[in-house]
Amino acid sequence: MGKIIGIDLGTTNSLAAVWQDGESRLIPNSFGEYLTPSVVSIDEDGSVYVGKIAKERLISHPERTAASFKRSMGIEKRYTLGGKSFRPEELSALVLKKLKEDAQRYLGEPVEEAVISVPAYFNDMARKATKDAGALAGLRVERIINEPSAAALACRKGSGKDAGLGEEDETILVFDFGGGTLDVSLVDCFDNVIEIISVSGDNHLGGNDFDQIIAEQFCKENDMSFEKLSARQKSMILKSAADVKCALTEKEETVMVVTDGDFRQEMRLSNKKLIQIAMPLFHKLMVPVKAVLNDGVREQLRPSEVVLVGGSCKMPCVQQYIRHFLSAGKMTAVNPDCMVALGVGLYAGIKERNEEVRDLLLTDICPFTLGTGLFNPVDPSRSTMEPIIERNSVLPCRKEKRFQTVGDFQKTVKVDVYQGEAYYVDENIFLGELMVGVPMALKGQESVTVRYTYDINGILIIDVRVDSTGEEIRRVITTGTDVIPQDKMDEYVKKLEQWDLYPAEREENQLVIAWGERLFAQATGELREEIGNRLRYFQQLQDQDTYKIRKHRNHILAFFKHVERILAVYETAWVQPEEIDHWYEERTKDSEEAEEEYTRWYDGHFTS
């Protein structure tokens, strides 16, 4: 049986590795380099270039060259190169063919089989297209492995020695920052299983964006407009920007020089300055990190190790930034751009020996929130939404919450089931209801526990248990898979516009409420709960004196501003509880009073 090679078929660069002498080794290409740019170019006489040469031709012959075609795997897209039409898998096949030939030369024997890695978020079509590309390149592809799993494998095993897992269990956060994409994954490793718990990312954030920002800064400092440059000048400056960016990996400061005929301009650039000009990019980096950590919290998993993967993780400022935010635990940042390939090489070795590592991927998440209506003392006709299963929960999923009776001698409790993100249940989708009898008692003395179980097939099971008697009832509901339309937000805005008939004082209150409702729809988890509670408190203040209302309005406004900041930075509501607690910077007497009054109300009234 011939050798099996492992291939990291990247958007920007591709690499091959092989299991040799008990370790995973990278295979050099015809230039003696490990990275082959995933670029294909076709000459006038029909010769095909793959890699470094093709990358150069991206500037000189853009109409005969294609890059980043991995983005289109599995979708109906055609690339035209020199008048000929190519499918993305055909272009990928040309890259694979080049890697295969380089491997055969290096190994001195034919290569017929490969294991190829793909992003965890690739769907069946994209995976199928990757296998097809292999077949077109004359490679048998029996196994596809997920990129974060490959990185985790490489990280657990170093570059190899004895492969086969079975070491201690651990959870790893894989931060893969490449040329045009950022993929963040939370990976759980136990026995011979690598399970991807959660994935998030930004499909349009990568090293290219740093190049762009450096290029624009260069133009700004030299009184030019990047936008007005010719295509050739643009790519020239971008290339030079990429070069200084890489130079800053080795030294703290450098000079970017661009010469073109008589034209010669320069700019000093340091890592410190790069951080300043690229701040908006840094902020974006943490969005997916927060999202996967958030999912991890739900699964009670905290990463014990962070692995930096992808060429852009070579940047010292990126490493520093991540280190700053993820202070706890171990961080691995060795050869980030080779990590995935080394892992796939390792996997190829495992396959050669007929051993097993299971690469599991949970792709099923609940795209909307499932909850129940909560009695609203301010307006009994409009219940508010109490989330039980939050959107983006990994499925199958089970969650429960307890609710107390709201009336004296209440005989029954009604549990309504809703789907959606809005604060009032009547703006969400009604799915069904359950009635259960409870022993008569004073309000708050009886309670029911409501449990939602939701699975991949859209089946929601609701169990309601009366805590004092143990009586249980169940209902099964089938939900639609439609996501709640985004235009709900426009409705709020329209509503706001009609409010100028209100007296100014009330208008301000309405604004607070509308703002709160929007934040409620945006946030998740603890933060969302807190927004809901504060909003309920504010609403029930309406018959109080103006001074008191104003005091609380200012207080809640400060809170909302804080929430806005959290959401803007992280877009997801994964926040430390203490971040919620200590949100007001300036403790005026008023705000302290307001907070105390709220706490008293909360302790006395809130019942879930």
* Rounded Cα distance, 308 and 430, in Å: 44
Q: Considering the rule CB under 6 A, would residue 208 count as an interface residue with ligand ADP?
A: yes
SS3 of residue 305 by DSSP: strand
In degrees and rounded to multiples of 5, residue 390 shows phi and psi of -75, 150
Q: Contact with ligand ADP (CB under 6 A): which of 4, 5, 6, 11? A: 11
- Which one, of 166, 147, 160, lies nearest residue 357 by Cα? 166
Q: Contact with Mg ion (CB under 5 A): which of 6, 148, 178, 201? A: 178
In degrees and rounded to multiples of 5, residue 467 shows phi and psi of -65, -35
Q: Considering the rule CB under 5 A, would residue 206 count as an interface residue with Mg ion?
A: no
Q: Contact with ligand ADP (CB under 6 A): which of 233, 235, 249, 445? A: 249
Q: Contact with ligand ADP (CB under 6 A): which of 88, 134, 179, 296? A: 179
Q: Which is nearer to ligand ADP, 205 or 422 (CB)?
A: 205
Rounded to a whole number of angstroms, the minimum distance from the CB of residue 3 to ligand ADP is: 24
* Rounded Cα distance, 506 and 511, in Å: 9
Rounded to a whole number of angstroms, the minimum distance from the CB of residue 480 to Mg ion is: 36
Q: Considering the rule CB under 6 A, would residue 371 count as an interface residue with ligand ADP?
A: no
Rounded to a whole number of angstroms, the minimum distance from the CB of residue 336 to ligand ADP is: 7
Q: What is the separation of C-alpha 19 from the centre of its chain, rounded to a whole number of angstroms? A: 32
Rounded to a whole number of angstroms, the minimum distance from the CB of residue 126 to ligand ADP is: 15
Binding mask 122-161 for ligand ADP (x = CB under 6 A): ----------------------------------------
Write the CB contacts of 276 (distance below 8 Å, at least 6 apart in sequence).
Answer: none
Q: Which is nearer to ligand ADP, 36 or 479 (CB)?
A: 36
Q: Contact region for Mg ion (CB under 5 A) — 10-18, 103-111, 282-290, 363-371? A: 10-18
Rounded to a whole number of angstroms, the minimum distance from the CB of residue 189 to ligand ADP is: 22
Specify the long-range contacts of residues 226-232, CB closer than 8 Å, at least 24 apart. Answer: 231/62, 232/59
Rounded to a whole number of angstroms, the minimum distance from the CB of residue 358 to Mg ion is: 22
Lookup result for tokens 């089989």? 113
Q: Which is nearer to ligand ADP, 258 or 556 (CB)?
A: 258
Q: Contact with ligand ADP (CB under 6 A): which of 170, 305, 337, 517? A: 337
Q: What is the separation of C-alpha 82 from the centre of its chain, rounded to a whole number of angstroms? A: 37
Beta strands 13-20 and 36-37: pairing type? antiparallel
In degrees and rounded to multiples of 5, residue 295 shows phi and psi of -65, -35
Helix, strand, coil % in the chain, rounded to nearest 5: 40, 30, 30
Q: Contact region for ligand ADP (CB under 6 A) — 214-222, 297-305, 311-319, 481-489? A: 311-319
Rounded to a whole number of angstroms, the minimum distance from the CB of residue 52 to Mg ion is: 17
Do 557 and 588 touch, CB atoms closer than 8 A?
no
Hey, what are 68's tokens?
């980043």
Start-to-end Cα distance in the chain: 64
Rounded to a whole number of angstroms, the minimum distance from the CB of residue 10 to ligand ADP is: 3
Do 84 and 78 touch, CB atoms closer than 8 A?
no
Q: Which is nearer to Mg ion, 11 or 524 (CB)?
A: 11
Q: Contact with Mg ion (CB under 5 A): which of 3, 4, 10, 535? A: 10
Q: Considering the rule CB under 6 A, would residue 314 count as an interface residue with ligand ADP?
A: yes
- C-alpha to C-alpha distances, 268 to 166, 181, 271, nearest whole angstrom: 50, 27, 10
Q: What does the binding site for ligand ADP look like in residue numbers (CB under 6 A)?
A: 10-13, 178-181, 206-208, 242, 245-246, 249, 310-312, 314-315, 337
